[in-house]
């Protein structure tokens, strides 16, 4: 029986246990065991089962917990001119690349992919909802506003977002998931984010197509 606990209802001790589980995911991948988690979290296995039901419940709670920690940066809608829009998109791209290339994100996505391979899609759905979809929900209003303001020319908001997705991430995520060693320093991320933004403007900037 899997127990669902809303991330807001977690006690501090429970959050600490989930953080330890997260660390175990990063360190051991999907080979993590209930024993290794309990040792790392300095708690008993009995407690893990009482709190989270079973192994799947623990993994699900951990993914949800991590998702709840990622805050959506506030979008500045006040002034909407071309430089402000470019800065917003660039910041988006930077944050996104930073998150995607973090060890935590890699471990989490790998876990979710493995999970999906076994027929269960709950972890994959959660990761998708808090990754790709959350980004869409945040970015699409910006694109829509920019379209209405005449800064961009976007026939299909969703399609434009997916293109932005592709321009920013390119082959980075799949290569990282497959174990390719990529060195993504701050400088490289900044440069890639800038290039993706520039390319996006070239495709959707008002008056360019």
Partner DNA sequence: TGAGAACCGTAACGTTCGTTACGGTAAATT
Partner DNA sequence: AATTTACCGTAACGAACGTTACGGTTCTCA
As a residue count, the chain comes to: 209
Stretch that binds a second copy, among 46-54, 64-72, 89-97, 103-111 (CB under 8 A): 103-111
Under the binding rule (CB under 8 A), the answer on residue 110 touching a second copy is: yes
Q: If contact means CB under 5 to 8 A according to the sort of partner, which of DNA, a second copy, none does residue 124 touch?
A: a second copy
Burial class (CB in 10 A: 0-12, 13-18, 19+), 22: buried
* Position 99 contacts a second copy (CB under 8 A): no
Strand partners, 205: 152
Site for a second copy in 168-207 (CB under 8 A): 168-171, 173-175, 177-180, 195, 199, 202-203
Q: Taking CB under 8 A as the rule, does residue 124 contact a second copy?
A: yes
Binding site for DNA (CB under 7 A): 11, 13, 31-35, 38, 42-47, 49-50, 54-55
* CA atoms within 13 A of residue 69's CA, in its CB half-sphere: 15
Segment near a second copy (CB under 8 A); pick from 4-12, 43-51, 59-67, 112-120 = 112-120
For tokens 């808090």, what's the residue?
130
| C-alpha of 27 from chain center | 19
**Residue 42 burial (CB count, 10 A):** 9
Compute the least distance from the CB of residue 125 to DNA, in Å: 20
Q: What are phi and psi of 201, to 5 degrees?
A: -65, -35
- Exposure string of 195-206, with b = 16+ CB inside 10 Å and e = fewer, is ebbeebbeebbe
Smallest distance, Å, CB 105 to a second copy?
12
Give the footprint of a second copy on this chain (CB under 8 A): 29-31, 107, 109-119, 121, 124-125, 127-128, 132, 159, 162-163, 165-171, 173-175, 177-180, 195, 199, 202-203, 209
């Amino acid at each position: 029986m899997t127990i669902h606990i809303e991330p807001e209802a977690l006690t501090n001790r429970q959050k600490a246990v989930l953080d330890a589980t997260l660390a175990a995911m990063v360190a051991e991948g999907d080979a993590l065991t209930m024993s290794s988690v309990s040792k790392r979290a300095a708690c008993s296995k009995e407690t893990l089962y009482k709190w989270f039901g079973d192994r799947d419940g623990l993994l699900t709670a951990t993914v949800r917990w991590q998702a709840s920690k990622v805050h959506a940066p506030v979008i500045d809608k006040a002034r909407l001119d071309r430089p402000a829009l470019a800065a917003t998109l660039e910041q988006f791209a930077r944050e996104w690349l930073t998150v995607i290339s973090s060890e935590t994100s890699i471990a989490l996505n790998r876990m979710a992919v493995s999970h999906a391979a076994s027929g269960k899609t709950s972890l994959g759905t959660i990761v998708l909802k808090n990754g790709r979809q959350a980004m869409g929900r945040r970015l699409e209003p910006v694109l829509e506003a920019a379209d209405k303001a005449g800064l961009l020319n976007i026939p299909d908001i969703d399609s434009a977002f997916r293109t932005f997705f592709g321009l920013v991430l390119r082959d980075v995520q799949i290569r990282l998931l497959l174990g390719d060693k990529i060195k993504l320093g701050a400088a490289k991320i900044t440069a890639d984010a800038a290039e993706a933004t520039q390319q996006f403007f070239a495709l959707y900037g008002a008056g360019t197509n």
